[in-house]
Structure 1
Amino acid sequence: MKKHNFKTDMVTSRKKYSAAFKAQVAIAALQERESLAELSKRFEISPTMISKWKQDFLSRSSTVFENPAPKDDFDKEKERLYAKIGQLEMERDWLKKTAKRLGL
């Protein structure tokens, strides 16, 4: 009777796929030029995974057209804060020089 070594028998690693790859597979599935089985063979992933990525792609597709205004607001605030930092550094430097001249 063979003894099992559960530490080595159960070792499996999951592949991690990039977002670009997932998008490519999802778009191929949406085009419906090939069946899920054909796509599964071509990309070497399960049909279930392809279906999940396709659903994820469709559910998030509306975010592509969302208003990018919050990023613009963020960039404006960032610029304002950098300007403020510059102003404060200049004031600090002036105060250091003045204090040194006065012997403080």
Structure 2
Amino acid sequence: MAKKRQRHSAEFKAKVALAALRGDKTVNELAGQFGVHPTMIHAWKKQLLDGTSE
């Protein structure tokens, strides 16, 4: 059975991206904590720094 695609709110993305920017945990640790792929965290962090939204 195929896994359904997850849709995350802007608030969730910002929360995860800010946690990544703080640097308290590695991206891999955050990915495990929030249940997302590390690549997504990097993308959300870049969006936050660039000031772009979804």
TM-score (structure 2 length as normaliser): 0.88
| Structure 1 residues without counterparts, runs of 5 or longer | 1-8, 62-104
Which residue matches 1:65?
none
Aligned-partner residue type, residue 35 of structure 2: E
**How far apart, CA to CA, are the structure 1 residues paired with 2:38 and 2:14?**
15
User: Residues 1-104 of structure 1: matches in 2 within 5 Å?
Assistant: 11-60=2-51
Q: Classify the secondary structure of the residue corresponding to 1:34.
A: coil
- Residue 43 of structure 1: how far off its partner (Å): 0.3
Higher-helix-fraction structure: 1
Secondary structure at 1:13 match in 2: coil
Q: How many residue pairs align between the two structures? A: 52
> What root-mean-square deviation, in Å, do the aligned CA atoms of Structure 1 and Structure 2 show?
1.3
Structure 2: state its 5+ residue gaps: none
1-structure distance, mates of 2:8, 2:30: 15
Q: Runs of at least 4 residues of structure 1 off by over 6 A?
A: none
Quote the sequence identity (%): 40
Cα distance, 1:13 vs. partner?
Answer: 1.8
What secondary structure sits across from 1:17 in the alignment? coil
Provide the TM-score with structure 1 as the length reference: 0.47
Q: What is the alpha-carbon distance in structure 1 between the residues aligned to residue 17 and residue 10 of structure 2?
A: 10
Query: Which is higher, the Rg of structure 1 or of structure 2?
Result: 1
